[in-house]
Structure 1
Amino acid sequence: MDYIDTLMRRNAEFAGEGFNPSLRMMPTSKSLIIGCVDPRVDPMDIFKLAPGEAAIFRNVGGRVNPSVVETLRILRTVTLAAGGNIGPDSNLIVLHHTDCGIKRCYCHEPRLLAEHMGVTAAELDTLEINDPYKAVALDVAALRANADVPGGYAVSGLVYDVATGKIEIGVPSSRLRPDEG
Structure 2
Amino acid sequence: MSETASADKGFDDLLAANRTWAARFTLSGFDGVAHRGVAVVTCMDSRIDPLRMLGLSPGDAKIFRNPGGRVTDAALEALVLGTHLLNVERVLVVPHTRCAVASNSEDELREKVGASAGKDASWMSFGVIEDQVRTLRADVAKVRSHPLIAVGTLVGGFVYDVDSGLLQPVD
Task: Using the TM superposition, name which of 32-41 and 141-150 deviates more.
Answer: 141-150
Of residues 74, 90, 100, the one that matches 1:67 is 74
Partner residue, 1:14: 21
The separation in 2 between residues aligned to 1:3 and 1:139, in whole angstroms, is: 38
Q: Structure 1: 5+ residue runs without aligned partners? A: 115-123, 172-181
Contact map agreement 1:69 1:148 (CA 8 A) in 2: no
Inter-CA distance 158–3: structure 2 relative to 1 (3 Å threshold): farther
The separation in 1 between residues aligned to 2:100 and 2:23, in whole angstroms, is: 37
Partner residue, 1:174: none
Report the 3-state secondary structure (helix = DSSP H, G, I; strand = E; otherwise coil) of the residue aligned with 1:149: coil
Partner residue, 1:166: 166
Of residues 37, 52, 64, the one that matches 1:57 is 64
Partner residue, 2:91: 92
Which letter maps to 1:28? H
Aligned CA RMSD, in angstroms, stands at 2.5
Aligned residues: 150
Partner residue, 1:179: none
The separation in 1 between residues aligned to 2:159 and 2:40, in whole angstroms, is: 12
Of residues 126, 139, 148, the one that matches 1:113 is 126
Report the 3-state secondary structure (helix = DSSP H, G, I; strand = E; otherwise coil) of the residue aligned with 1:169: strand
Report the 3-state secondary structure (helix = DSSP H, G, I; strand = E; otherwise coil) of the residue aligned with 2:95: strand
Partner residue, 2:134: 134
Of residues 35, 44, 60, the one that matches 1:37 is 44
Report the 3-state secondary structure (helix = DSSP H, G, I; strand = E; otherwise coil) of the residue aligned with 1:74: helix
The separation in 2 between residues aligned to 1:22 and 1:111, in whole angstroms, is: 41
Query: Quick check: which has more Rg, 1 or 2?
Result: 2
Post-superposition shift, 1:49? 2.2
Report the 3-state secondary structure (helix = DSSP H, G, I; strand = E; otherwise coil) of the residue aligned with 1:41: coil
Q: What are the Cα deviations for residues 63-105 of structure 1, in whole angstroms up to 9, with x where unaligned?
A: 11222222223334544xxxx6x6xxx1111111111111335
Question: What is the TM-score with the length of structure 2 in the denominator?
Answer: 0.74
Q: Structure 2: 5+ residue runs without aligned partners? A: 1-7, 111-122
Which letter maps to 1:91? R
Q: Work out whether 1:148 is the aligned partner of 2:148.
A: yes
Question: What is the TM-score with the length of structure 1 in the denominator?
Answer: 0.71
The separation in 2 between residues aligned to 1:31 and 1:52, in whole angstroms, is: 10
The separation in 1 between residues aligned to 2:100 and 2:57, in whole angstroms, is: 27
Which letter maps to 1:19? T
The separation in 2 between residues aligned to 1:11 and 1:42, in whole angstroms, is: 19
Report the 3-state secondary structure (helix = DSSP H, G, I; strand = E; otherwise coil) of the residue aligned with 2:47: helix
Report the 3-state secondary structure (helix = DSSP H, G, I; strand = E; otherwise coil) of the residue aligned with 1:8: helix
Inter-CA distance 59–53: structure 2 relative to 1 (3 Å threshold): same
Question: Post-superposition, which runs of at least 4 consecutive aligned residues in structure 1 deviate over 2 A?
Answer: 44-49, 70-79, 103-111, 130-135, 148-152
